[in-house]
Amino acid sequence: MFRKITSLTSFFSFIVLIITSVVLYIVPQGRVAYWADWTMLTLSKEQWGDIHICTGVLFLVVSILHIWLNWKPILAYLKKKAGEANFTSPAFFISLIITLFVAFGTLLELPPMKQVLEGTQYFQAKGEEKYGIPPYGHAELSPLEIFCKRMGLDVDKAAASIKNAGIELESTKESIKSIANKAGLTPKELHDIILKDQPQNKSSMKKEGGDSNQQSGQSGAGIGRMSLGQYCAKYNLDLNTALGILREKGVVVDKNTLIKEIAGALGLDSPRALGNLLNP
């Protein structure tokens, strides 16, 4: 009975892990998901992550129990009839080589691991295009007055815009997320409402992010805040070629380096100017 429960629990937890792994593979980056209040099957990114972690721990525990309960059969499988260790069989070496290839191939960015990693960068870039990029990390948690101060917006006009939209506002000390949730909106949608009566926001957004389009979520948004890997995935550029071009220019970076940092190192006026260099 105990063996059967252990085996079935291992099987079901493995199925859940497959599902959560697929969801977390395609989910937008954390800051984008929180800004857009992203959900799938009514669950947020954080909730999917929590399920993945706890189910992973369950799978680990029952796997250890499964090995303990079946230790003798496992040893028997690894041994020849003569009692010698079966560590010279083709199956043993093939399994070991496959595992090491995936582990070290990931670090060396070899195919197909490289394509798997580029796939998640592709989905992240698509998420940024669809949902937009927050002005700064966890902007949705900022009180309205702090948010406006950081964005260079008039807090009184922001409060008026919110109230005119029929949204309850108790205090400017309420967080963007709290105000949005009460109205059934995402933080991004509330942000759009706040900006309606503040035509001067374009200049303030340029000061904050270097590109006013970063706040709108339109095509090309947030280029400066992309990593080189995300940028190459979005614009169908070969990452290794881009790295080679930058090395020739005396800039040694990796796929995780932000575009704005690369542009700064090259002395370019804006992150967008980097495109002319990488894709002449």
User: How many whole angstroms from its chain centre is CA 218?
Assistant: 19
Domain ranges of the chain: 2-131, 139-215, 223-278
Q: What is the pLDDT of residues 261-272, one digit of tens each?
A: 788 778 776 777
Confidence category of residue 12, pLDDT binned at 50, 70, 90: very high
Residue 77 has pLDDT above 90, yes or no: no
Bond before 111 cis per omega within 30 degrees: no
Q: What is the pLDDT of residue 247?
A: 84
Quick check: helix, strand or coil at residue 79? strand
Side-chain-side CA neighbours of residue 179 (13 Å): 33
Kindly report each contact of residues 245-254 with a partner whose C-beta sits within 8 Å and lies 24 or more positions away, as own/partner.
245/277, 245/278, 246/278, 249/277, 253/228, 254/228
Band (217; pLDDT cuts 50, 70, 90): very low
pLDDT digits (tens, 9 = 90+) for 160-189: 999 999 999 999 999 999 999 999 999 989
- pTM for this entry: 0.59
Instruction: Determine the pLDDT at residue 17.
Output: 95
In this structure, the number of other CB atoms found within 10 A of the CB of residue 216 comes to 18
Can you tell me the mean pLDDT for 9-14?
94
